[in-house]
Amino acid sequence: MARSQSQPYWTEAAAGNPATEANEFERLGSPGKYYDPIKWTGGELYLTGSEFGHGAVGRSGSLLNNVTITFFNGTTAVGSEIDAVLVDKQITEVAIKQISASATPAPGSTLYFYKRQQ
């Protein structure tokens, strides 16, 4: 069947079109291994409740002794211990329950928490 020149296939994106960019992520999910990042630069953060499932963390900068991480098994790591476990600019898979800082971490110190695709 030939297409008439006066009747184009479509003139605009149809609502619910699976080929649209926004719908593609909803339909197919995140294309990477990690998703839903949380950027932490100080204060207190609980990775429980609606934030549960963030099982990977990346570190940028050194975390001074005022930063404490509590793991899901109840053990804690502070400052230089954290620097020993979390390699700078590398993602480490670890189950963290809470992170807190008694003072503002050093400038440029940032942790990124990610959920991992299964």
All structural domains of the chain, each given as residue ranges with its CATH number in brackets, are 33-116 (2.60.120)
Could you list the pLDDT tens digit for every one of the 118 residues in the chain? 554 555 555 455 555 555 566 667 677 666 778 888 899 888 899 999 888 888 899 888 876 668 889 999 999 988 778 878 888 888 989 889 999 987 777 777 888 999 888 7
> In angstroms, rounded to a whole number, what is the distance separating the alpha carbons of residues 80 and 37?
24
Tell me if the pTM is above 0.85.
Answer: no
> In angstroms, rounded to a whole number, what is the distance separating the alpha carbons of residues 114 and 93?
9
Three state DSSP letters for 1-30:
CCCCCCCCCCCCCCCCCCCCHHHHHHHHCC
